[in-house]
Structure 1
Amino acid sequence: MTIADMLRQAAEEDGDRTALVCEGRRWSYAALWTAARGAATLFRESEARYVALLDGNGEAGVIALFGAALAGLPFAPLNYRRADAEVAALLDRIAPAWLIAGDDRAAWLGAAATVSSAAAFVAAAQAATPSAVESDGDDIAVQIFTSGTTGAPKAALLRHRHLLAYVAATATPAKAGAQEGSLVSVPPYHVANVVAVLTAVQARRRLLVLPAFAPEAWLRLAEAEAPTYAFVVPTMLARILDHLDGDDRLASLTALSYGAGPMPPALLERALECFPDVRFTNAYGLTETCATIASLTPEDHRAAFASGDPAVRARLRSAGRPLPGIEIDIRDTAGIPLPAGARGEVYARGVQVSGEYRDRDARDAGGWFATRDLGWRDADGYLFLAGRADDVIVRGGENISPGEIEAVLLTHPAIAEACAVGLPSAEWGESIGAALVLRPGHAAPEPAEMRALVKARLRSSHVPERIAVLDSLPYNELGKLLRRDVRASPLLRTASSL
């Protein structure tokens, strides 16, 4: 079985039902299936070994995803925000590829690969003779190039069986009503987009596709199509809330998932207050784990939000507990499992966990994948994350997790966001800097007060030597904090030190 079987079954059982809405264009499941089969014919008749997408959200990407599955080729969505030279380097790694590119880049890239614009590809797929050839469940369905913040992007592989296992673990057993819809605004080169498409098709929800995120465009689509479900990253949620102005354009929304980056506690509490009837889910996962492996459920959110017990309330900052079929371990630097409460690296194992790159399988002999995320679990199994292992600050030979410091800084009532980073130090190798963002209406606390707060909760070695208040923290389009930009901040580098 492959991911294409989900679309085939939907077309056979609910062919007339609306499957996809994009910029006013509406596709039934039957029409989408026919186009995917036509795309498979195009791919199979070419010499392509990959199907690549270099464009924003749209019907072309959805058709290409399922068409590639039918043709037995990996679907490789590329980050369209990369520079042309970086894109060319990635194309060299997947040549020969059939590339679907935005109109502004299709002509430039024409010499590098078989290229068609999104509109031309969709028209050709609709006109082609439908193909019925399918691939095997162990074939590679999707290849996603990771962000490559510490080197060349790695090619993470997701096979059909990984994606199907994810859908099986997260799908609701009942078919969605015809009025239900999923609003998708995450870029197509992110695994969250891929699984959002698949879970919508599995549930027979309308897939409401926003070509590129902007808060007003997101809200206009929500007002026009009345989605019942959406996935956002924290920065998207903040911008949506800022543009709501107390109106009821999201009255149809019943469920909201978030992930791909840490959620500031103040933002989450604001959202829970703004949408008291919406079911919130925190989804934690990586590309290599085929998206979500742990989630904080709607019930967890409301119980924690209403609780007066600090330990229960703290779960709003957690990633929740493992999905069915997923095991999570916390291990020390030697790979030894740690007990509840102890901090270490997060490991994951399960049928949906790939842990595979184009050049190697990164799982150990027991099938465990090291996520490179740091964290710990409480006594009830809730997972708390403490940043990336690569972000560890090494001060005087001591490894310090920035997440520990940030969690303490965020307990101050004036602080909305916090970021701790390592700064060059002739004495210690690295010293600790902290960038803070204030809650609206609050004055900046004195650096000495913030240092005393950290010293009271953690060791003196964890106290920030430089503290600066910024207007905002830098995030990428998926809500990931850009620590390298914080490190380079002139305000932080010139802040008074201890």
Structure 2
Amino acid sequence: MSISLLLEMASSSDPDRTAVVADDIRLTTEQLSTLADGGAGIITGSGAQHVAYVGTGGAMLPLLLFASARAAVPVTPLNYRLSADGLRALLDRLPDPLVVVDDEYRDAVGDGYRVLGSTEFLDGARTAEPVAEFADPDAVGVVLFTSGTTSTPKAVELTHANLTSYITGTVEFGAADPGDAALICVPPYHIAGVSAALSNLYAGRKMVYLTNFDAGEWIRLVGTENVTSATVVPTMLDRIVTILDADKVALPSLRTLAYGGSKVALPLVRRALSLLPDVGFVNAYGLTETSSTIAVLTPDDHRAALSAADDAAIRRLGSVGQPVPGIEVQIRGEDGTVLGAGEPGELFVRGEQVSGRYTGVGSVLDENGWFPTRDVAHLDADGYLFIGGRSDDTIIRGGENIAPAEIEDVLVEHPHVRDCAVVGADDPEWGQIIVAVVVPQPGADPDVDDLRAHVRAQLRGSRTPDRVVFRDELPTNATGKVLRRDLVGELNATTKESL
């Protein structure tokens, strides 16, 4: 099934429904479909083998997704926050692309490419000779570059079948109420941005785009557009909660708030739940290679964990829930053995939505179709999935493997800690030492020995941070992932300077 069919179904079912709201642009499903046909005509006429988009998204993201699909050409939204050199390095990896670019990033793209401005593409799509074909379901529809927080970005190939199997397996067509609206503020180059455009259109929700996140504007849009659902990353949730807490703002239309992209500190989740008691919270976990979400902690799971009395149920608030329909999971040890409940190992996933294929590399699925996520994880006795971070993040101190997440989960519960990240810094004696990078609560002045004692009281002594350093904020990417490599680089450079 081609993603083109998702728009075909939406426009045929309810052509006058508002599909997209972005600044001064408002498009019905029929208008979006007509523009996608015209956009496909532009792409086909250009002779390009690929479409690249450099911009903040809004209406351009769903338009280019469907226009490219109807031209049977893959599309790649690129990280507009990259340097000019970084951006061009990724463009050079795409075969003969047509580059569609927002005006403010035109200079970063530079010369040497076939380029159209976003406004030029949109205007041209209104008059171009329409093209509408359904791509082969097994053809690549979207290529996304991984964030590259620890290595060179990989180009993940997602077929139409990968993407549509996720949508049709997790979303009921046209199930949204007539007034439902989704507020989208995740970046277009992230899988969450792609899946939001596809899933909300398929469900029948109006998509309201906030291309440059501001917590105050986010709250305003929830009110003015009667937003019923939204998805945020941890840093966004933190800023939204800060305003809600300070100004006692009510969000009466909001029914569902999903968060994901990286781990969210439990004190923040509990605070959000208490401030928005009538909102259903969803923790969604997924990867680029899996076409978005593979596990969900539902609203009922959140409230049950919050009010639970037994430790196992309480801990589930820190899980990512249970696998979505069509997804199988396994936790494997280093020798490949499938592990039981409570045993940490590497998470493997399998299902039709799982790609596991990279440009220039090919498929990394094993002979039975399992994808190695490189995430450390475990399942509890009832099948709830807990993510312990990337295997690359493991600290090896004196030959002992230490997962940063278990220390972070304890440290962030200290009343003087707002956020934290635990990393391994080079050390001549131990190989690596444990360094806790702490963001204090506003007005707090945490004592280092007190923080170390707090960890030591709940974990083995070998898990106690060797050093504690303080920062005003943690370095993160646009999806809220902590840039641990940056922290390690700074810590190692400081150590060398002091020698």
1:480/1:427 CA distance change after superposition, 3 Å:
same
Q: Which secondary structure does the structure 2 equivalent of 1:300 belong to?
A: helix
Match status 1:221 vs 2:221: yes
Counterpart AA for 1:434: A
After superposition, the Cα gap between the structure-2 partners of 1:436 and 1:160, relative to the gap in structure 1 and judged at 3 Å, is same
TM-score normalised by the chain length of structure 2: 0.94
Which residue of 1 is the match for residue 378 of structure 2?
376
Residue identity matched to 2:156: A
- 1:243 maps to 243
- CA, structure 1 residues 24+346, in 2 after alignment: closer, same or farther (shift >3 Å)? same
Instruction: Tell me what 2:84 maps to.
Output: 84
Structure 1 pair 108/284, CA: closer, same or farther in 2 (3 Å)?
closer
Q: Which residue of 2 aligns with 1:360?
A: 362
What residue number does 1:282 align with? 283
SS of 1:93's equivalent in the other structure is coil
Rounded Cα–Cα distance in structure 2 between residues aligned with 1:217 and 1:456:
42
Please state how far the C-alpha of 1:240 moved relative to its aligned partner.
1.5
Instruction: State the secondary structure of the residue aligned to 1:315.
Output: helix
Please give the residue correspondences for 1:323-472 in structure 2 after superposition, counting only pairs within 5 Å: 323-358=324-359, 359-440=361-442, 442-447=444-449, 449-472=450-473
Bigger mean CA offset, 401-410 vs 87-96: 401-410
Which residue matches 1:69?
A: 69
TM score, norm. by length of structure 1: 0.95
Partner of 1:163: 163
Residue 10 of structure 1 corresponds to 10
C-alpha offsets along residues 361-395 of structure 1, whole Å, 9 cap, x if unaligned?
01111111111111111111111111111111111
The SS at the match of 2:112 is coil
Match of 1:270 in 2: 271
Which residue number in structure 2 is paired with residue 139 of structure 1?
139
Q: Is the 8 A contact 1:265 1:416 kept in 2?
A: no
Contact 2:265-2:409 within 8 A present in 1 as well: no
What is the match of residue 254 of structure 2?
253
- Give, in angstroms, the shift of residue 110 of structure 1: 5.5
One-letter code of the match for 1:112?
Answer: G
Cα 1:461–1:62, aligned 2, differ >3 Å: closer, same or farther? same
Kept in 2: contact 1:101–1:118 (CA 8 A): yes
- Cα-to-partner distance string for 1:91-147 (whole Å, 9 max, x where unaligned): 111131111111023256362221111111100011112212221111111100111
Distance in 2 of aligned mates of 1:434 and 1:109: 39
Alignment of 1:16-95 (within 5 A): 16-95=16-95
Shift of 1:235: 0.5
How big is the shift at 1:351?
A: 1.2
Question: Is contact 1:466–1:493 with CA below 8 Å preserved after alignment?
Answer: no
- Whichever residue aligns with residue 40 of structure 2, its letter is A
Encode CA deviations 1:188-224: one digit per residue, 9 max, x unaligned.
0000010101111101110111122121222232222
Query: Does structure 1 retain, via aligned residues, the 8 Å contact 2:144–2:288?
Result: yes
Residue equivalent to 1:297:
298
* Contact kept in structure 2, 1:435 and 1:492, CA below 8 Å: no
The alpha carbon displacement at 1:473 in A equals 2.2
Q: Cα RMSD between the aligned structures? A: 2.0
Unaligned runs of 5+ in 1: none
C-alpha contact 2:173 2:204 (8 A) present in aligned 1: no
Distance 2:448 2:492 in 1: 15
Name the structure 2 match of 1:129.
129
Tell me, in whole angstroms, the C-alpha distance in 2 between the residues paired with 1:412 and 1:211: 35
**2 CA distance for matches of 1:344 and 1:158?**
26
Give the conservation status (yes or no) of the 8 Å contact 1:355–1:369: yes
Query: Residue 321 of structure 2 aligns with which residue?
Result: 320
SS state of the match for residue 386, structure 1?
Answer: strand
- The structure-2 alpha-carbon separation of the partners of 1:385 and 1:493, relative to structure 1 and needing over 3 Å to count, comes to farther
Deviation of 1:461 (Å): 2.5
Distance 2:210 2:195 in 1: 16
